Chains A and B, each alone.
Chain A
Amino acid sequence: MSTSGMTASALHSDSALYTALALVIDMDPALVDIVGLSLRVSLSAVLTAALIGLPLGAALALWRLPGRGMVIVALNALMGLPPVVAGLGVYLLLSRAGPLGELGLLFTPSAMIIAQVVLVLPIIAALARQLVEELWGEYREQLTSFGLSRACAIPTLLWDARFGLITVVLAGFGRASAEVGAVLIVGGNIDGVTRVMTTAIALETSKGNLPLALGLGIVLLSLVALVNGAAYVIGEAARRRLG
């Protein structure tokens, strides 16, 4: 069933909910496209942010450099960076007149991934820094006794903090998949190109197309619930198994 012909004004909110469930159950192509793009953008962003943020956080935990405190405060503050501000920053970078304008990335999924990396990276790096620093406090003497340098200790610490770090990465994914401001500004919410769940919900709601908005809302909520459930299960299993 396609949603495009649906006249929202005729719908009562109860029937909107039924229609929304039907859209989800029938795997409506418009809905599937939007969910697929959302996952692609957010997962790519989280993966990129994790690849940079985890070693960065660990390095910050281990090194005592001048200005380290400032970097940590800045990173912690950036955890609360408003998505629209991140979006604006990336927009300015990627816009035709901006320093990276020649790449022509604005209003593409790549631009959305970049904006979400900017949002998620501080979360992953700051929380990883905290976790690794705690673990380093416990492991420092033993690893030093093994003759490991600090740089060589990073992979060990990241691996041994793995269960806590999975929760950190999932928190990053939660942030990426839930935000709307950044992807709206740099993606432009173009139908079939850069429309993701959150921007679609905002648009469809304002258009009065409640079934699609609700259907996307259900998928988004389920996804967030799934992520949180996974984080809880992994954390509990780790506590039980590894002491």
Chain B
Amino acid sequence: MTDMSMAVDIQEAPASLRLDAVSFEHRGQTLLEDVSLTLSTTGKTLIMGPNGAGKSLLMRLAHGLLQPSRGQVQWPAGQPRQAMVFQRPVLLRRSALANLTYTLKINAVPRAKRRALAQEALEHFGLAAMAKRPARVLSGGEQQRLALARAWLISPEVLFLDEPTAALDPAAIKAVEDAIADFHHRGTRIVMTSHDLHQARRLADEVIFLCNGRLVEHSKAETFFSAARSAEARAFVKGELVW
């Protein structure tokens, strides 16, 4: 398995994001080592792997929240509009509606337009009744939908989601997955981490598989789930413990 073969496998659309020999070290420990990959401009990519594999880290490096210790993160066609949804949504200590108008404000949307756009997004995500409620007393599922609505408002070209359904019940998971499908239909590039194999099968167009801070596999979803090339990925797909 080489980086070339992986690139050939998944590179149909033009490159959107390129990671070039990216490593990340923290306190002398290498948490991510020599990761090179290219993401196309469309589709849904699932970053998978056991705990501590470096999934969230890879996403934070791609989104620009962290800077790599070595290597480069590049957007060849220029920085796209991007948003990130976290495992535990970080909502401001304001009403649900105010959380959305805040996002519009920092994105320089004229004041007169903010309220209507925010209301529209709340309705789209089934939160219209919660508009005046403080965001942080909403249920976990509602909070995550609000975080998605917030991302929706800026029409991101790339949406990063870090285990967005890890702490949710099945109904809330369904709502989040539907929302992700909405983003996808609007043309947003989806990059998401998950350790839930069923969810990955439902959502993924392609899979990036990490293990111990290394990129082990990057292939189309059907290839990954039926005929993974690496022993670690095959074991992971079968639900075995992988180290």
Contacts from A to B (Cβ < 8 Å): 138-139, 141-142, 144-148, 152, 156, 160, 162, 241-243
User: Does B65 sit at the interface, judged by CB under 8 A?
Assistant: yes
Alpha-carbon gap, A162 to B60, bound state (A):
29
B65 engages A156 (CB within 8 Å)? no
User: Does B113 sit at the interface, judged by CB under 8 A?
Assistant: no
A160's partner among B60, B64, B94 (CB-CB below 8 A) is B94
A142 engages B90 (CB within 8 Å)? yes
Given contacts A160-B92, A242-B93, contact A144 B65 (CB under 8 A): yes
- The residue in chain A whose Cβ has the minimal distance to the Cβ of B91 is A142
Per-residue interface assignment for chain B, residues 56 to 74, with 1 indicating a CB less than 8 Å from any chain A CB and 0 otherwise: 0000100111000000000
B134 engages A241 (CB within 8 Å)? yes
Within 8 A of A (CB), among B81-127: 83-84, 86, 90, 92-94, 102-103, 106
Given contacts A145-B63, A145-B83, contact A243 B94 (CB under 8 A): no
Q: How far is the CB of B202 from chain A (nearest CB, A)?
A: 25
Q: How far is the CB of A133 from chain B (nearest CB, A)?
A: 16
User: Does B137 sit at the interface, judged by CB under 8 A?
Assistant: yes
Q: How far is the CB of B94 from chain A (nearest CB, A)?
A: 7
User: Does B195 sit at the interface, judged by CB under 8 A?
Assistant: no
User: Does B136 sit at the interface, judged by CB under 8 A?
Assistant: yes
Q: How far is the CB of B183 from chain A (nearest CB, A)?
A: 16
Instruction: Identify 12 new A-B residue pairs, CB closer than 8 A, beyond the known A147-B106, A160-B92.
Output: A141-B60, A142-B86, A144-B64, A144-B65, A146-B106, A152-B106, A156-B102, A160-B94, A162-B93, A241-B137, A242-B134, A242-B137
B65 engages A242 (CB within 8 Å)? no
The binding surface of chain B is classed by DSSP as: mixed
Alpha-carbon gap, A156 to B101, bound state (A):
13
Alpha-carbon gap, A142 to B134, bound state (A):
18
Given contacts A146-B106, A241-B134, contact A141 B90 (CB under 8 A): yes
B136 engages A145 (CB within 8 Å)? no
The binding surface of chain A is classed by DSSP as: helix
Alpha-carbon gap, A208 to B134, bound state (A):
56
List, sorted by A's number, 24 A–B pairs whose CB atoms are closer than 8 Å. Answer: A141-B84, A141-B90, A142-B84, A142-B86, A144-B65, A145-B63, A145-B65, A145-B83, A146-B106, A147-B106, A148-B106, A152-B106, A156-B102, A160-B92, A160-B93, A160-B94, A162-B93, A241-B134, A242-B93, A242-B134, A242-B136, A242-B137, A243-B134, A243-B137
Alpha-carbon gap, A142 to B136, bound state (A):
15
Chain B interface size range:
10 to 19
A139 engages B136 (CB within 8 Å)? no
Alpha-carbon gap, A36 to B90, bound state (A):
45
- The residue in chain A whose Cβ has the minimal distance to the Cβ of B79 is A147
Alpha-carbon gap, A13 to B216, bound state (A):
86
Contacts of B63 in A (CB 8 A): 145
Per-residue interface assignment for chain B, residues 124 to 150, with 1 indicating a CB less than 8 Å from any chain A CB and 0 otherwise: 000000000010110000000000000
Contacts of B102 in A (CB 8 A): 156
- The residue in chain A whose Cβ has the minimal distance to the Cβ of B134 is A242
B84 engages A145 (CB within 8 Å)? yes
- The residue in chain B whose Cβ has the minimal distance to the Cβ of A152 is B106
Contacts of A160 in B (CB 8 A): 92-94
Alpha-carbon gap, A148 to B137, bound state (A):
25
A141's partner among B83, B86, B92, B134 (CB-CB below 8 A) is B86
Contacts of B92 in A (CB 8 A): 139, 156, 160
Contacts of A144 in B (CB 8 A): 64-65
- The residue in chain B whose Cβ has the minimal distance to the Cβ of A141 is B65
Contacts of A142 in B (CB 8 A): 84, 86, 90
Alpha-carbon gap, A145 to B64, bound state (A):
8
Alpha-carbon gap, A241 to B138, bound state (A):
11
Contacts of A146 in B (CB 8 A): 103, 106
- The residue in chain B whose Cβ has the minimal distance to the Cβ of A243 is B136
**Residue from A138, A144, A152 having most chain B Cβ neighbours under 10 A:** A144
Alpha-carbon gap, A168 to B102, bound state (A):
25
Q: How far is the CB of A136 from chain B (nearest CB, A)?
A: 11
